[in-house]
Structure formats: structure tokens, C-alpha cells
Amino acid sequence: MTALTHRYEILFLYEAKDCNPNGDPLDENRPRTDPETGEATISDVRIKRTVRDYFLSQEPDVEARLGAGREVLIRDTLKGDGHLAEGKDRAEQFLAATAKDKKGEAKRQALQDAVLAGCVDARLFGATLPLGKNAPSLQLTGPVQFAAFNRSLHRVSPTLVQQTAAYAGSAAANQKSFAERWLLPYALIAAYGVVNETAARTTGLSDTDLQLLLAGLWHGTAALNSHSKIGHDPLLLVVAQYQPGHRLGALPRRIGLSDQRTEDTALRSTRDFRLDVGELLDAWCGFPALTELRVMHDPRLRCQAHGAAGPFAELAGQAGLPVKDLVLEH
């Protein structure tokens, strides 16, 4: 497949209700927040995990994923002894018997070829894999990068919830113990990503791979179904296509909440606010390197720009921007 040739920016908004969008394991798994602003923060690692888990859910058979070039490199695998594989063990899993006999740069190149041919997440996000002591490591810069921390558009209020556990807390206890978990009552999160066409030539990232990423963002977020993650819903996905070498930048900082019915920490649904996109649309209107906008929008998220209200794509069209619907496979 031909590597993509345009640069892209991704703006992805989703809501998290009564769940934990990104817990900090070093802080009692409390939802990550900025201590100065009170905004929820979601790491790029969490977003990439959502996308990878979606890929895995689409095809449970490893050989089928490899054959289609849709295997996931960064996932838990086991060694022959049943222990969790290390990075160098994962590397060896991709090397055929003949390639294992290669040394140095020849072995690294064989690993790179195998990983890029078989693993969609490596073509998207890059990869780092060690090949053992005194051997060169595989290091690939991914064309797709998300912000290190993706923020809510408002202050949040983490809440500690106690509930009865399923079992007793000790052998001598006659009553069930209590369990605790942290959650956010509500957060509207804006994730930001860039797709670099120059790096895409190194990993072979194609337009088909980009479509898979977008499906992973939207459908993968909707499919989050663990105890701490159920309550996620995608609301708006905008993909801005530019001429090579250009991007507008700072997309999440050009939008904001308006017409709030209550203060930030008391927000509980999309009925409590509108999303003001006027500054963002104005910026794109003044940026000639923009060639196309593709949009997927849940109408529950109400948008407005300069006093006019309506769906994001409609407002973009009224501003004279080249916009069309984003269609995703599922």
C-alpha cells in the first residue's frame, strides 16, 4: 500500500460519565487531573490502548491478524514457559528461523520488515524493541502522535465511591469487606493528534491504516466496557487534511464551553452546555493550507459559532470550509 501523502490533525471529543478515564496507579488509581487547573488529563498511552484493544476485538485469531497486517505489537504475550514476554522475547516472536541466525543490523532490519508488515499499531505509533545485549534495538518514530496529556474542557471533581465487596476481607471475618474506587461524575475530554506524512514514509502508514485508527478512536471508545471504563461515549471526531508540511495546531485550545447551566464541576451531560467552535472555524478560514475537513458528530453535542447553532459540519459549511461526512468501517 502507498504511504499517505497529506498531513492531518485529529480533534476527538468524548464524554466520560461515572467512570475513571485514566487512573494513576501511583495515586490510588485516582483519575488523573491537573492540580493547578482541576482539568482531567488523559495520557496518550491510554488513547493508544483504546485503539489497540479495538483492533484486537475485531479479529481474535493471531494468524489472521498477521496475514491481514493488523496484528497488535504492543500487547501481552507469553513465553514458552508461561511467563509474560519481555521486549526482546516479543522481538524474537517476529523473526523466522532463518532471520534468527542473522546478526547485528541485518537482524534489526529483518525485525523491522516483519513488524511493519504485520502490525498496524507499529505503522501508526512506531515501536521500540530490544534485540538483546550488544545488539541494535528497533526504534521507529510513529507518524501518529497524540498529546502527552489530553484535557477535559472544564474542571472536574474526582469522587471516591465505597461499595460492598463480593467476599470477606479475612479468613476470620463474618461480614463482607468494603471496596473503594475513584470516578469522575462527568468529563468532556478533547484529544488531539497529528499525522505526519514524512514519518509515514518510514513505517509505510497508508490511508487504509489511518481509517482504521479513526474507527479505533470512535468505535473503540464506545466499546470500552471494563468496570472502570464503562460510561465513555464519542461525541465529535474531526479530521483536518492539509498540504504536506502544514498544520494549524492547538485545536483543543480554540474551542470551549458556552451557555453553561451550572458551574464546571456540576456538569453532568451535554444538556448542560454548548460547544463554541467559532474561534476554530475562523482559524481554519484563515489557513489556506487546509484542504478538507471530515466530520463525525453525535447530535447530543450541541455546537455554536458566532451566535449560530447547529451541527459542527453545518457550521463549518456556513463558514465556507471544505467539509464532508466522515464514514468509518466497523
**Strands 308-310 vs 303-305: parallel, antiparallel or unpaired:** antiparallel
**Burial (CB count <10 Å: 0-12, 13-18, 19+), residue 166:** exposed
The CB-side HSE value for 56 (13 A sphere, CA atoms) comes to 13
Q: How confident is the model at residue 135 (pLDDT cuts 50, 70, 90)?
A: confident
For the chain, the farthest-separated pair of C-alpha atoms sits apart, in whole angstroms, at 72
Query: Does 166 have pLDDT greater than 60?
Result: no
pLDDT at 130 over 90: no
Q: Which amino acid is it at 118?
A: G
User: Given this model, what pLDDT does residue 215 score?
Assistant: 98
**Nearest Cα to Cα of residue 236 among 201, 271, 190, 202:** 190
Residue 323 has pLDDT above 70, yes or no: yes
- 250: region left, alpha or beta (phi > 0 left; psi from -120 to 50 alpha): left
Tell me the average pLDDT across 175-184. 80
- 1 confidence band (pLDDT: 50, 70, 90): low
Confidence of residue 107 (pLDDT cuts 50, 70, 90): confident
Which residues are within 8 A (CB) of 78 and not within 5 positions of it... i.e. 6 or more apart? 84, 85
Average pLDDT, the chain: 92
Written as nine digits, the cell of 21 is 478515564
- Tell me the β-bridge partners of 7: 242
Burial of 208 (C-beta count, 10 Å sphere; 0-12/13-18/19+): middle
| Beta strand pairing call for 232-242 and 159-168 | unpaired
Instruction: Please give the distance of CA 111 from its chain centroid, rounded to a whole number.
Output: 26
For the chain, how many residues are written? 330
The full DSSP string for 261-316 is SS-GGG--SGGG-EEE-HHHHHHHHT-TTEEEEEEEE-TTS-EEETTEEE-HHHHH
- E strand or H helix at 29, and its extent? none
Mean pLDDT value across residues 97-109: 77
Q: How far apart are CA 303 and CA 306, in angstroms?
A: 10
pLDDT of the residue at 101: 73
* Mean pLDDT, range 308-318, rounded to an integer: 98
* Burial letters 181-198, b for 16+ CB under 10 A, else e: bbbbbbbbbbbbbbbbbe
CB 293 within 8 A of CB 322: yes
- Residues 64-68 have a mean pLDDT of 94
pLDDT exceeds cutoff 60 at 173 = no
CA-to-CA distance for 36 and 302, rounded, in angstroms? Answer: 28
Strand partners, 179: 163
The 10 Å CB-count burial string (b at 16+, else e) for 59-76 is: beeeeebbeebbbbbbbe
pLDDT at res. 12: 99
d(CA 240, CA 247) in angstroms, rounded, equals 9
How many other C-beta atoms can be found within 10 angstroms of the C-beta atom of residue 83? Answer: 9
Grid coordinates given for 18: 461515572
List CB contacts of 93: < 8 A, sequence separation 6 or more: 77, 85
What is the DSSP-derived secondary structure letter of residue 243?
S
Overall average pLDDT of the 206-219 stretch: 98
Q: What mean pLDDT is predicted for residues 252-279?
A: 98
Domain ranges of the chain: 7-57+144-158+180-325, 62-139
Between the ranges 35-39, 78-82, 179-183, where is the mean pLDDT highest?
35-39
